[in-house]
Structures are given as C-alpha cells and as structure tokens.
A and B are shown apart, each in its own frame.
Chain A
Amino acid sequence: MLNNRRLVLAHFWFAFATFGVALLLGAWQMYVRSPLHAWLRQPELYYRSVTAHGSVMGYVFPTLIAMGFGYAITELSLGQALRGRRWAWAGWWLIVVGSLMAMVTVALGKASVLYTFYPPMIGSPFYYLGVVLVVVGSWIWVALMSINLRVWKRANPGKPVPLPMFANVAGSYLWGWTAVGAALEILFQILPVALGLKSTIDSGLARVFFSWTLHAIVYFWLMPAYIAYYTLVPRAVGGRLYSDGMARISFILFLVVAMPIGIHHLFADPQVGSGFKFLQSVFTALVSVPTLLTVFTICASVEIAGRLRGGRGAFGWLRVLPWHEPMMLAVAFSFVMLGFGGAGGLINMSYQLDSTIHNTQWITGHFHLIFGGAIVIMYFAIAYELWPQLTGRALTSVRLMKWQLWLWFVGMIVTTFPWHYAGILGMPRRMAYFDFSNPALAPEAITVTMSAVGGLILVLSAVLFFMVLVRGHRGAAVTPAQFEFATAVHPPATLPVALNSFGLWIALMVGLTVVNYGYPIAQLLVLKETSVPAVWMGGQR
C-alpha cells in the first residue's frame, strides 16, 4: 500500500536530477585536472565545481533518497497511511528551494568554499542559508518518522516494530543528532561572519563542530543501502533474512557509535588534544563491528537463497545464485566496494597510519568508493525495486539495468583504485591542476588519466540509469504486486524492549557525544584568542 506515490517520486526525481548534474561536474573535474587537459586558466572554476558537486552529493542527493525511501517504508512496512503529508511536502519544498539557492550562489562564484565550508574561508550567506534550509527540510522528515512510528506503536502495543521501519527511524534519529554539529557551526560561527557582523572566526572550533557532522553523515548516507541489504536483498534473491535480531543490533550500533567519532577527521588539526583523538580512534574502530555483522548476516541470507536453489558444497551455492537479477548484481558489487573501501577506512581511522595519507587523494578515493560506489549502487537498486510501485508500470529494461550496474561498478573501481594509489604517492587533494612535467609528479600522471576514464564510464552508467527510469514511466501500466520486505528465518513474535525502542540508544548516543566532544568544545569556547581573520571568497572584482 503506497498512498503517497507523488511524494516519494518527487523526492527521488529531484534527488536523481541533482545527482545527474553533480556527476557531470565531477567527471569534468576529473578530466580538467588530468594530463588530458591543459591547465585550467581559471582555476576558480574548478573550486566552484567542487563546491557544487560536494554540496549536492553530500547534502541534497542522499538526504532526499533517505527521505523518499523513508516515506515509502513508513507506508509499506507499517501498513498505515503517512501522517503529516503536508509537512512532508513542506520539507521537500524547503530542500528544493535551499538547494537551488545554494547552487545559484555557488555557480555565481560567490561561495567556492567546498561543501565542508573550510573556515576561515567565508562565502556568500545565501550559500549557507540554502544548506540550512536543506537541513531544516530533512529535520521535518526526522520528526515525521518518529511520529509515524509512535502512531503505529500506539495502535500495536507490544508488537515488534517491522525491521524496515526500525532501521529507517534509527537512521532518521542518527541524522537528526548528527546534523546538529554543522547547524551549530553555520548558525553561530559562519553566518555571523558571512553576514558581516564579525570579521574573525574561530576556525578550530568551527572544524570541531563540523567533524561532529562529518563522519556520521556518511552513516546517514549508508542507511538506505543497509536497509536495502537487510529488507530487500534476501527477498529479491529468493532467500530469507538470516537474523532479524542481528539486523536490529547493527542499526543500534550505528546509532550509538557512528556519531561521536568525527575527530578522526581532525588528526592533523592542532586544536584538539591527542587523548581525544585516540579516544575517538577507538570508537571509530568500533563502527566496523556493525558493518562486519551486516556482511556476515547478508552473506548468510544470500547463502540460504543459494542452498534453496540447490547449491551444494562450500562455494557451490554461489554459482546458482540469481545473477540475472539486478538486485543480486547490485549487492555483490556493493559488497566488493564496501570491502575495499572499508579496508581503506581502517587505515584512515588509525591515528598513526592516517598521517601517511591525510589530505591526499587517498581520502577522496576512499569516500568515493564507499559512498559513490557501495552506497549509490544500492540507491540505484532501491529505485529499481520501488519504481513499479511508484509509477504503476513495470520496469522491463532488465538488460539495460544490468549494463548500468556493471558500468557503475567498473567505472567506480577504475576511478577510485588509481586515486588511492595517487594518494599513497603523496598527491594532495583539492588541486585544480598538477605540474605533471615535474619529474617528481610524472608517475602520478597516469593515475589521474585512469581516474578520468573511470569518471567517463560513470557518466555512461548514469545515462543508462536515466533511460531505465524514463522508460519505466512510459511502460505498459500494470497493477504492481503487493510489495513485500524480506522475512526473517525466524520472524520475531516478541522482542525485548531494548530491540524495539530507541530511548536507551539515543541516551547512549548523546552521552557518548558529551564524553567525546564535551571537553574539546568547552575548551575552545573558553580559550581566548583562538579566532583568526576570515577570508572572504568571491569578493569585489
């Protein structure tokens, strides 16, 4: 039962439209800084493009996917109509207006500060206000998810919350809390300067606030992908979810430990004490636990499908899996990329190992592999799953879908593997051009060319993706089958309160935030003379 198809479609289409534009910008960036193109004579254009690419891919695209998917999950898994439909539309409009406002400002060259803001650089206030509108729009969604769950719980006392909704609400709470850091930074640090009320900024404190958001935002991006792993994949490949409890524990662990670990992004920053860096390094290591649990559970669930299809022996079940299913391909590709990206992430989070790759191309390679690869490929799969429900028309271009997923996988590997290698060679991030004629840099040239080719493959894949979706709108009208999420091997009849509610986990999340962030923030607030002169971008010409 999906009552609000237009709402979900509006979220998905605006998300994918912005994604398409940002992807083209990304591919252009890969090309212009490669040896295939002469140096950009207007390097500022590069930073404009990076800012637009990052802002869309970081704030707009995944947020809208999580929201649209969340609204769909609410109706499909709870079997009740969405409460607060008007508010949901208001949230969507806020995001649309906010993104357009921010993007126009960036396009005019008034806010080339990159999506991570980088104080003391300061851009036009319209850029930051646009981002604020996007966040406020998403907070409406957070509230609606909570309200809808409460309504359902009141009607179904003591019953286990369906896993998709449980995971969805965990993701929304994670986002609600994690966005607070960037909100504090924008409202109290950046906007007063951008509006001309102050001329200095405590960039150390601002960066600490941003780190509050910066890591957990990745787990917020990850949530729709993980929800798809647990609740769509086992059913799509003809198996069952190996363990419902394990799934809940994974989402709970993400909620608790994904947020208070962002200082590992500040390992090279002087304003945070080494003790807190180590502490957060340890908690970052803990975040690998829910991912490892997930890999185990999903592999086991897929193995069930393989055994049900007659697979025998230690690896025989792999061969008989439904490899013709787009979802099967997507999850396999996603896991491979998650594996490599996750292994790279373990290096980033280690206090000592990080120093070899900090601020190099390794980092950009890493987060593109995880987000652009493992996560976004699942966004495609989610769209393919939901499209017939949303349009009332069958998706028949299965060959095209498989080509699309293959190209995305190959493109992402070709883009990010050389990128990692360039980072090990010491190539810095955020450069509009490199002097490849210098003997010290010459070995890096080929890696950048390879990445640029990968970027082109990704664009091709996106073209196919849009073709599939548009064809879906034009296909023959059908009555889609009743949508079902995966069922567990042992569906829970009752659950301990801890696995069916969020109070304890939110308390732990907030408590850990206080322990891990309380002192560094308080200290920087109190210390005198920690502000530096702001650097305004795109000033008088």
Chain B
Amino acid sequence: MTTERLFSLRNRWFVLSVGSTISVAVVAALIGFVWLPSVQTDAQFTGIWNAICSAAGVPQKWLSSTPVTSRVKTSDVVLTPSTLVNGDALSIGRGATLALRCTMCHGPQGLSQANSPNLAGQYAAVIYKQLRDFQSGARTNPVMAPMVTALSDQDMRDLAAYYAYLPRVTGYHPASRPVPDIVAVGSPMRNIAPCASCHGAADRTIGAPWLEGEPAIYIRAQLQAFASGDRHNDTSEQMRNVVRQMTPAEIDAAAQYYASQRP
C-alpha cells in the first residue's frame, strides 16, 4: 500500500501540474485582459481596470449620444404559441356579435366578396395582432381605422376567437398550378426566404397568416405596401426586408399562387 500523499506541496506531480496550470492561466489572463485591451485607444479601455472590465465583457455604455427614436409607429404586440389558442364558447359568441359590423367587407361567413381578406379559419393570433396594430396606428387603413377605435382588448380577442372558429371554406379553385420558386425556395442570393418557411407548407412563424385562397389583389397590394414602407407593422421588418428584394413578377407569382390554392 502506497503512503505517498498526492495533495501535498512535497509531491512534485502536484506542485508541477497545479503550478503550471496556474502559470498558464495567469499569463494568458494577463495578455488577454490587460495587454491586448490596452492596445485599444477607445475611452472605455483607458486604465487597467477599464481594460479588465472590457475584456471580461462587463456591459459598458459606448454610445454617448441619445438614440433617435423613429417616427414610424411599429407593432408592439407580443405573441407566443399559447396566445389565443383555445377560444372558449363565450368568447366566440361575443365575437360573432361583434363581427356583424365586419360583414360589409369580410362577408357574413368571413368570406370576402370585396377583395378584402377572408378571415374564416384564420389563426386567432394573426387577427388579434392586426386589430391591435390598426388600433395603435402601426398599421394604417382608412376603412379599418374607424372600425377599431372603440374596441376593447377583450373585443379584439373575441373577434379573433370567432373568426378562428369559423371553418375554412374551400370554395372553387381552378386547376392546381406549380409552386413558384419564390414560394418554395425563395432566393438565397437576394436574402429572400421562401414564403413557405413562415406561411405554412414548410414551417410557420407565430403571427404569420396562412394565405391560401386569399384574394390575389389583396396579397399583391399588401406586398407592394410592405415594399414601399406604407405598411410597417411586420415584426422586425421581416416582410419589408423580404419584399423590397422581390421583383414585380415574383410578387405577382406569389399572389396568384396563393389565391389559387385551397385553404
């Protein structure tokens, strides 16, 4: 049985291994936390303590001026996967009553005959977000604006629950057409993600509507509004960044394709 003590300053393995580990760490730390940051000339690095803090990643205030706030109103709605997933019967009933005022454009069954979007079966979170954005002014529309001013938050939740509850109506859709490239694969070199990666088929992003069967005129108009910046309630400019890169032909192809699909 060996009596050699390992954790002892008399054990050369202990002294050598611990000593060399500590020396490597100290030398590397001196270079990484003192020497290299000191080469920087920014004010945040002046002095040894600042250098160490900067290298350690302590948050520092770099910008001395106050940031300019945008005059463009953007959406402040937060959506999660659990937002409005299960509307209860009471909410749907209230929504049905409230929806009577929407029938002029969106149809009595949530199916538009005026090139307004069909709402029957649309995701509740989508409808709720758009209503909130119309109310806050993040999305502007001369027809919708006066309709939403008086709605309470619960009213908007009820409307969303009601329209989500209505069945998607398949209707008449002529012969299927091939999926255009812009929908299926986008255009990687222009930083255009495929429509299908957020609007269904490939994957879905919370807050993105399904588009099948929506009027082509409506889809096209919205894409053009995103491209020009007239519509700006998309989260993190996701739609604006994509559509600005799209050609008019691609916008048309996407609109025609989605309009021709069964919801």
What CA separation (Å) do A433 and B11 show in the bound complex?
59
Q: Which of B21, B52, B179 has the most CB of A within 10 A?
A: B21
Q: Is A434 part of the binding interface, using a Cβ–Cβ cutoff of 8 Å?
A: yes
Q: Is the CB of A41 within 8 A of B185?
A: yes
The chain B residue with its CB closest to the CB of A42 is B202
Q: Is the CB of B17 within 8 A of A274?
A: no
- A275's contact among B55, B78, B203, by CB below 8 Å, is which? B55
Q: Is B222 part of the binding interface, using a Cβ–Cβ cutoff of 8 Å?
A: no
Q: Is the CB of B6 within 8 A of A535?
A: no
Q: Is B56 part of the binding interface, using a Cβ–Cβ cutoff of 8 Å?
A: yes
Complex interface residues of chain B between 161 and 197 (CB less than 8 A to chain A): 179, 181, 184-185, 187-189, 194, 197
Q: Is the CB of B32 within 8 A of A278?
A: yes
- A401 → chain B closest CB, angstroms: 41
Q: Is the CB of A539 within 8 A of B203?
A: yes
Give the size of the chain B interface in residues (CB under 8 angstroms): 49
A274 / chain B contacts, CB cutoff of 8 Å: 32, 36-37, 54-55, 57
- B37's contact among A275, A499, A537, A540, by CB below 8 Å, is which? A275
The chain B residue with its CB closest to the CB of A512 is B21
- A194 → chain B closest CB, angstroms: 10
Given contacts A496-B4, A523-B57, contact A435 B81 (CB under 8 A): no
What CA separation (Å) do A441 and B202 show in the bound complex?
25
Complex interface residues of chain A between 261 and 316 (CB less than 8 A to chain B): 271-279, 282-283, 286
Interface string of A148-159 (1 = CB under 8 A from B): 000000000110
The chain A residue with its CB closest to the CB of B210 is A541
- B36's contact among A278, A535, A537, by CB below 8 Å, is which? A278
Q: Is the CB of B58 within 8 A of A273?
A: yes
A533 / chain B contacts, CB cutoff of 8 Å: 78, 80
- A514 → chain B closest CB, angstroms: 11
What CA separation (Å) do A253 and B8 show in the bound complex?
20
Given contacts A535-B205, A536-B206, contact A283 B54 (CB under 8 A): no
- B29's contact among A44, A279, A501, by CB below 8 Å, is which? A279
Q: Is B82 part of the binding interface, using a Cβ–Cβ cutoff of 8 Å?
A: yes
Complex interface residues of chain B between 6 and 64 (CB less than 8 A to chain A): 6-7, 11, 13-14, 17-18, 21, 24-25, 28-29, 31-33, 36-37, 52, 54-59
Q: Is the CB of A43 within 8 A of B197?
A: yes
A199 / chain B contacts, CB cutoff of 8 Å: 80-82
Q: Is the CB of A157 within 8 A of B1?
A: yes
Complex interface residues of chain A between 169 and 190 (CB less than 8 A to chain B): none
The chain B residue with its CB closest to the CB of A273 is B57
What CA separation (Å) do A197 and B4 show in the bound complex?
53
A535 / chain B contacts, CB cutoff of 8 Å: 205
Q: Is B123 part of the binding interface, using a Cβ–Cβ cutoff of 8 Å?
A: yes
Q: Is B2 part of the binding interface, using a Cβ–Cβ cutoff of 8 Å?
A: yes
What CA separation (Å) do A279 and B29 show in the bound complex?
6
Q: Is the CB of A539 within 8 A of B56?
A: no
Q: Is the CB of B28 within 8 A of A434?
A: no
A496 / chain B contacts, CB cutoff of 8 Å: 4, 13
Given contacts A275-B55, A496-B4, contact A541 B36 (CB under 8 A): no
Q: Is the CB of A497 within 8 A of B32?
A: no
Q: Is the CB of B59 within 8 A of A527?
A: yes
Q: Is A483 part of the binding interface, using a Cβ–Cβ cutoff of 8 Å?
A: no
- B200 → chain A closest CB, angstroms: 5
The chain A residue with its CB closest to the CB of B33 is A275
What CA separation (Å) do A112 and B197 show in the bound complex?
13
Q: Is A228 part of the binding interface, using a Cβ–Cβ cutoff of 8 Å?
A: no
Q: Is the CB of A519 within 8 A of B28?
A: no
The chain B residue with its CB closest to the CB of A277 is B32
- A520's contact among B18, B57, B181, B205, by CB below 8 Å, is which? B57
A431 / chain B contacts, CB cutoff of 8 Å: 188
- A430 → chain B closest CB, angstroms: 12
Q: Is the CB of B24 within 8 A of A283?
A: yes
Q: Is the CB of A538 within 8 A of B203?
A: yes
The chain B residue with its CB closest to the CB of A38 is B185
- A485 → chain B closest CB, angstroms: 24
Q: Is B204 part of the binding interface, using a Cβ–Cβ cutoff of 8 Å?
A: yes
Q: Is the CB of A433 within 8 A of B188?
A: yes
B54 / chain A contacts, CB cutoff of 8 Å: 273-274
A523 / chain B contacts, CB cutoff of 8 Å: 56-58
A433 / chain B contacts, CB cutoff of 8 Å: 185, 188
Interface string of A183-216 (1 = CB under 8 A from B): 0000000000000100100000000000000000
Q: Is the CB of A273 within 8 A of B55?
A: yes
A519 / chain B contacts, CB cutoff of 8 Å: 56
A42 / chain B contacts, CB cutoff of 8 Å: 184, 201-202
A44 / chain B contacts, CB cutoff of 8 Å: 197, 202-203
- A497's contact among B6, B37, B123, B189, by CB below 8 Å, is which? B6
Q: Is the CB of A275 within 8 A of B14?
A: no
Q: Which of B6, B32, B82, B184 has the most CB of A within 10 A?
A: B32
Q: Is the CB of A498 within 8 A of B17?
A: yes
Q: Which of B81, B123, B187 has the most CB of A within 10 A?
A: B81
Interface string of A515-538 (1 = CB under 8 A from B): 100011001000100000101111
B55 / chain A contacts, CB cutoff of 8 Å: 273-276, 278
Q: Is the CB of B32 within 8 A of A279?
A: yes
Q: Is A466 part of the binding interface, using a Cβ–Cβ cutoff of 8 Å?
A: no
Q: Is the CB of B56 within 8 A of A273?
A: yes
- A39's contact among B2, B59, B123, B185, by CB below 8 Å, is which? B185
Q: Is the CB of A515 within 8 A of B188?
A: no
Q: Is A504 part of the binding interface, using a Cβ–Cβ cutoff of 8 Å?
A: yes
- A41's contact among B56, B78, B184, by CB below 8 Å, is which? B184
Interface string of A431-469 (1 = CB under 8 A from B): 101110010110000000000000000000000000000
A41 / chain B contacts, CB cutoff of 8 Å: 179, 184-185
Q: Is the CB of B29 within 8 A of A275?
A: yes
Q: Which of A42, A196, A272 has the most CB of B within 10 A?
A: A42
A520 / chain B contacts, CB cutoff of 8 Å: 57
A40 / chain B contacts, CB cutoff of 8 Å: 185
Measuring CB to CB, which residues of chain A are less than 8 angstroms from any residue of chain B?
39-44, 112, 157-158, 196, 199, 256, 271-279, 282-283, 286, 431, 433-435, 438, 440-441, 494, 496-499, 501, 503-505, 508, 511-512, 515, 519-520, 523, 527, 533, 535-541
Measuring CB to CB, which residues of chain B are less than 8 angstroms from any residue of chain A?
1-2, 4-7, 11, 13-14, 17-18, 21, 24-25, 28-29, 31-33, 36-37, 52, 54-59, 78, 80-82, 123, 179, 181, 184-185, 187-189, 194, 197, 200-206
Minimum-distance CB pairs A-B, first 7: A273-B57, A275-B55, A278-B32, A498-B13, A199-B80, A282-B28, A275-B33
In the complex, 12 of the A-B residue pairs with CB atoms within 8 angstroms, ordered by the A residue number, are A43-B194, A157-B1, A196-B81, A273-B54, A278-B36, A438-B189, A497-B6, A497-B13, A498-B11, A504-B7, A537-B203, A540-B123
